[in-house]
Structure formats: structure tokens, C-alpha cells
Amino acid sequence: MAKSPYPTTPCVAVCQIDPKSGFCLGCYRTLKEIARWGKFTEDEREALLPELDIRREEDLREWRAEKARQEQTKTPDGTD
């Protein structure tokens, strides 16, 4: 197997679970995935890491869309 472009762990020490999505706001793993990470094989980790990238991108798109909606609802004087 070729060397992965991913780190050994996706943890970035921002450990907070989003109650809406169930994903960690730092690494985008679920609590179950975090708990099992040490027991995953390298192949299981490699299979999950691209999914975390997808989750992160989807979250960023949702955040940008929400920010755009908030900007549209502001009045000309900058208040809501």
C-alpha cells in the first residue's frame, strides 16, 4: 500500500460534538468512530478519511449558505 496523504489521526484538538450532525467540529468523526479509531485497521482508517473530507466540505457549504441568508436579512442600516 502506498503512503497515505492523511495523518495517522484526523484529530485537530477541537473536540466538540455538533448536536445537529453528530460530528466532531474538529475532525468530523462521530463519537463511535472516535471511540473505535484505535481499533480500526489501517485500511479502515484509510477508507474513512476521505469521507471526513466530504463531511467537512458539506459543513462548510452549509455554513456559507447560512451566512449568506443572514446577510440577506439585514436591513440597509446593518441591523437584523
What is the domain extent for residue 21?
A: 14-71
Task: Give the whole-angstrom CA distance, residue 74 versus residue 78.
Answer: 6
The answer to whether position 3 is within a domain reads no
pLDDT tens digits, residue range 8-31?
889 999 999 999 999 999 999 999
The answer to whether position 5 is within a domain reads no
pLDDT tens digits, residue range 38-60?
999 999 999 999 999 999 999 99
The answer to whether position 6 is within a domain reads no
The greatest distance separating any two alpha carbons of the chain, rounded to the nearest whole angstrom, comes to 58
C-alpha cell at 64: 456559507
Q: In total, how many domains does the chain have? A: 1
